[in-house]
Amino acid sequence: MGRKLKRINLFIRRRSHFSVVIVCGVVVLLLFFNDETSLTRSREYDARISELKQEIKVASDSAEYYRSARRALLTNKEELEQVARENYNMQRPTEDVYVIEKGEGK
Protein backbone atom coordinates (compact mmCIF):
# COMPACT_ATOMS: atom_id res chain seq x y z
CA MET A 1 0.00 0.00 0.00
CA GLY A 2 2.86 2.40 0.76
CA ARG A 3 4.30 1.96 -2.70
CA LYS A 4 0.97 2.82 -4.33
CA LEU A 5 0.65 6.05 -2.27
CA LYS A 6 4.18 7.03 -3.26
CA ARG A 7 3.33 6.58 -6.94
CA ILE A 8 0.14 8.67 -6.60
CA ASN A 9 2.04 11.34 -4.70
CA LEU A 10 4.76 11.40 -7.36
CA PHE A 11 2.19 11.60 -10.16
CA ILE A 12 0.39 14.53 -8.50
CA ARG A 13 3.64 16.41 -7.90
CA ARG A 14 4.75 15.94 -11.50
CA ARG A 15 1.39 16.96 -13.00
CA SER A 16 0.38 19.71 -10.53
CA HIS A 17 1.80 22.54 -12.68
CA PHE A 18 -0.70 21.69 -15.42
CA SER A 19 -3.64 22.43 -13.16
CA VAL A 20 -2.07 25.72 -12.07
CA VAL A 21 -1.48 26.69 -15.69
CA ILE A 22 -5.05 25.80 -16.61
CA VAL A 23 -6.49 27.79 -13.70
CA CYS A 24 -4.29 30.78 -14.52
CA GLY A 25 -5.27 30.55 -18.19
CA VAL A 26 -8.96 30.56 -17.32
CA VAL A 27 -8.49 33.57 -15.03
CA VAL A 28 -6.61 35.45 -17.75
CA LEU A 29 -9.29 34.63 -20.30
CA LEU A 30 -12.01 35.82 -17.95
CA LEU A 31 -10.20 39.03 -17.07
CA PHE A 32 -9.17 40.13 -20.54
CA PHE A 33 -11.75 38.69 -22.86
CA ASN A 34 -14.90 38.86 -20.77
CA ASP A 35 -17.47 41.24 -22.27
CA GLU A 36 -17.53 43.58 -19.28
CA THR A 37 -13.77 43.75 -18.75
CA SER A 38 -12.42 43.24 -22.24
CA LEU A 39 -9.43 45.10 -23.61
CA THR A 40 -11.39 46.43 -26.57
CA ARG A 41 -14.04 47.90 -24.30
CA SER A 42 -11.32 49.53 -22.20
CA ARG A 43 -9.83 51.08 -25.33
CA GLU A 44 -13.25 52.33 -26.39
CA TYR A 45 -13.78 53.90 -22.99
CA ASP A 46 -10.36 55.56 -23.10
CA ALA A 47 -11.10 56.99 -26.54
CA ARG A 48 -14.47 58.30 -25.37
CA ILE A 49 -12.87 59.85 -22.28
CA SER A 50 -10.32 61.70 -24.42
CA GLU A 51 -13.11 62.94 -26.73
CA LEU A 52 -15.08 64.22 -23.74
CA LYS A 53 -12.02 65.93 -22.30
CA GLN A 54 -11.52 67.70 -25.64
CA GLU A 55 -15.18 68.81 -25.62
CA ILE A 56 -14.77 70.11 -22.08
CA LYS A 57 -11.70 72.09 -23.13
CA VAL A 58 -13.54 73.63 -26.09
CA ALA A 59 -16.56 74.45 -23.92
CA SER A 60 -14.45 76.05 -21.20
CA ASP A 61 -12.57 78.13 -23.79
CA SER A 62 -15.88 79.24 -25.27
CA ALA A 63 -17.28 80.03 -21.83
CA GLU A 64 -14.22 82.12 -21.00
CA TYR A 65 -14.60 84.05 -24.28
CA TYR A 66 -18.24 84.85 -23.53
CA ARG A 67 -17.44 85.80 -19.93
CA SER A 68 -14.81 88.27 -21.11
CA ALA A 69 -17.17 89.65 -23.80
CA ARG A 70 -19.90 90.11 -21.18
CA ARG A 71 -17.47 91.80 -18.81
CA ALA A 72 -16.39 94.15 -21.60
CA LEU A 73 -19.99 94.99 -22.48
CA LEU A 74 -20.87 95.72 -18.86
CA THR A 75 -17.88 97.98 -18.23
CA ASN A 76 -17.15 99.63 -21.59
CA LYS A 77 -19.85 101.83 -23.10
CA GLU A 78 -18.06 102.13 -26.46
CA GLU A 79 -17.86 98.34 -26.74
CA LEU A 80 -21.59 98.06 -26.03
CA GLU A 81 -22.36 100.65 -28.69
CA GLN A 82 -20.16 98.88 -31.24
CA VAL A 83 -21.87 95.53 -30.63
CA ALA A 84 -25.32 97.13 -30.85
CA ARG A 85 -24.45 98.81 -34.14
CA GLU A 86 -22.78 95.79 -35.77
CA ASN A 87 -24.95 92.93 -34.60
CA TYR A 88 -28.35 94.55 -34.28
CA ASN A 89 -28.12 97.26 -36.98
CA MET A 90 -28.92 100.01 -34.51
CA GLN A 91 -28.31 103.65 -35.33
CA ARG A 92 -28.42 107.11 -33.92
CA PRO A 93 -31.39 109.24 -34.97
CA THR A 94 -29.26 111.32 -37.33
CA GLU A 95 -27.53 108.41 -39.08
CA ASP A 96 -28.37 106.28 -42.07
CA VAL A 97 -27.53 102.60 -41.94
CA TYR A 98 -26.70 100.54 -45.01
CA VAL A 99 -26.83 96.78 -44.60
CA ILE A 100 -24.77 94.80 -47.07
CA GLU A 101 -25.63 91.15 -47.22
CA LYS A 102 -23.21 88.71 -48.70
CA GLY A 103 -24.82 86.43 -51.22
CA GLU A 104 -23.54 83.08 -52.35
CA GLY A 105 -20.76 83.75 -54.84
CA LYS A 106 -20.11 81.59 -57.86
Q: For the segment 39-87, what is each residue's pLDDT rounded down to a tens digit?
A: 778 888 999 999 999 999 999 999 999 999 899 888 988 888 888 887 8
- What percent of the residues of the chain are helix, what percent strand, and what percent coil, each to the nearest 5? 75, 0, 25
Contact 75, 82 (CB under 8 A): no
**Same domain flag for 67 and 106:** yes
Looking at 32-41, 42-51, 94-103, which range is the least confident one?
32-41
d(CA 28, CA 34): 9
Could you tell me the residue range of the domain that residue 94 belongs to? 53-106
In a domain? residue 42: no
Contact 76, 69 (CB under 8 A): no
d(CA 12, CA 18): 10
DSSP 8-state class, residue 26: H
**Same domain flag for 61 and 32:** no
